[in-house]
């Protein structure tokens, strides 16, 4: 354990690959929106990380703007949180370099995400991919953050971040708090896909995922295609998984009375899944439409997006400069 007490600073990164879907919103963005009122928050578009797997940069400008616009449309407020692009904080490259000297090849090679990506792309196993968790650590500790709202898939990266922090503090002086995963009670929120299996994610099967960019017809088509059956034949029976999943999706966007009605229809075997899906489609459309429209308004206003990026870069770099002064002094890189 480090002697440094945890900070009340929140930091997280958002990959600019793919469009924002309902799983992203209920799993992450909604929490960011709540945290920005309660903590000092840094939310970052991880454009540099995307270079480890997507070296082609032609699409980056557009993808970065889209992810900024979609998150703002979902409620992330650049006036409350510091919302910035990773590549605008040049200090990150420096801190990443120092941390690389404290990261061992063996532990980096054992990282599950590295092994997965190396297997998927044997032709591009680059050093950036290997040191991905080091760059992530630099992002987090650049603001001396303790609280990192991320999903389970990032646990191992955070464990590595703690190791790098402990090594840094031990070698050069106690500067950084140990970062840890931080989430509100999320286990209770389930966002399954529409195909009856797994959770909603950016998957091959686009029909099972609802994106904020989907138009009303697409939403309706996707919801109406969700797997159902002829309905229960015995009173109060247990719901099959794919029906459970549809109810879980209803809980996200439908009124309580509506859910109760369909619950009781299910229990007394009078449920009509066609009606249920029509209702779900309508409520999904009502939920998604304002976000889609707001995203499009933001995307049409490039001056605003540039202002957001500049403001974010300014605030993030101010914090970065302070940290790097501490780091260079602690490391003895202050020759005059």
| Residues at the interface with ligand TRP (CB under 6 A) | 11-13, 15, 46, 49, 136, 139-140, 148, 150, 154
Selection from 52, 72, 57, 68 nearest residue 132 by Cα: 52
Smallest separation (angstroms) from ligand TRP to the CB of 180? 11
For 54-85, b/e burial (b = at least 16 CB within 10 A) is beeeeebeebbbbbbbbbbbbbbebebbbbbb
Q: How many CB atoms lie within 10 A of CB 180?
A: 16
What would the two tokens of residue 168 be?
């840094």
Query: Measured from the CB atom, is 69 or 140 closer to ligand TRP?
Result: 140
202 a catalytic residue:
yes
Among residues 61, 105, 190, 199, the one annotated as catalytic is 199
Please say whether the beta carbons of 1 and 178 come within 8 A: yes
Q: How far is the CB of 145 from ligand TRP (least distance, A)?
A: 8
Look-up of token digits 């990266």 = 157
Least Å distance, CB 309 to ligand TRP, is: 17
10 Å Cβ neighbour count for 115? 11
- Of 80, 202, 278, 315, which one is the catalytic site residue? 202
Of all residues in this chain, which one has the CB nearest to ligand TRP in the complex? Answer: 13
Q: Which is nearer to ligand TRP, 124 or 156 (CB)?
A: 156
Concerning whether 238 is annotated as a catalytic residue, the answer is no
Which CB, 28 or 69, lies closer to ligand TRP? 28
Q: Least CB distance from residue 110 to ligand TRP, whole Å?
A: 17
Residue positions counted in the chain: 336
The neighbour count for residue 305, using CB atoms within 10 Å, is 18
Residue 10 or 288 having the CB closest to ligand TRP:
10
State the catalytic residues: 117, 199, 202
């Amino acid at each position: 354990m480090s002697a440094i007490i945890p900070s009340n600073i929140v930091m997280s990164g958002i990959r600019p690959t793919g469009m924002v879907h309902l799983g992203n919103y209920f799993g992450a963005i909604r929490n960011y929106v709540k945290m920005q009122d309660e903590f000092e928050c840094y939310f970052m578009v991880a454009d540099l990380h995307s270079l480890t797997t997507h070296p082609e940069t032609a699409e980056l400008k557009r993808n970065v703007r889209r992810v900024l616009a979609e998150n703002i449309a979902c409620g992330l407020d650049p006036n409350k949180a510091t919302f910035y692009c990773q590549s605008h904080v040049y200090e990150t490259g420096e801190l990443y370099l120092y941390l690389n000297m404290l990261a061992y090849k063996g532990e980096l090679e054992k990282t599950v995400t590295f092994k997965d990506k190396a297997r998927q792309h044997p032709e591009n196993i680059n050093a950036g991919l290997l040191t991905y968790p080091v760059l992530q650590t630099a992002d987090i500790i650049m603001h001396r953050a303790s609280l990192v709202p991320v999903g389970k898939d990032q646990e191992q990266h955070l464990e590595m971040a703690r190791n790098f922090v402990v090594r840094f503090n031990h070698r050069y002086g106690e500067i950084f708090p140990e970062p840890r995963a931080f989430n509100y009670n999320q286990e209770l929120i389930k966002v399954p896909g529409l195909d009856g299996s797994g959770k909603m994610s950016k998957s091959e099967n686009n029909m099972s995922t609802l994106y904020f960019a989907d138009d009303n017809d697409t939403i309706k088509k996707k919801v109406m295609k969700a797997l159902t059956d002829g309905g229960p034949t015995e009173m109060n029976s247990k719901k099959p998984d794919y029906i459970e999943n549809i109810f879980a999706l209803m809980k996200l966007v439908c009124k309580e009375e509506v859910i109760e009605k369909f619950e009781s229809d299910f229990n007394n075997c009078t449920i009509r899944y066609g009606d249920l899906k029509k209702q779900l489609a309508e409520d999904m459309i009502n939920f998604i439409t304002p976000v889609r429209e707001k995203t499009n308004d933001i995307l049409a206003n490039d001056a605003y997006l540039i202002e957001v990026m500049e403001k974010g870069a300014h605030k993030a770099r101010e914090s970065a400069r302070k940290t790097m002064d501490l780091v260079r002094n602690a490391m003895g890189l202050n020759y005059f």
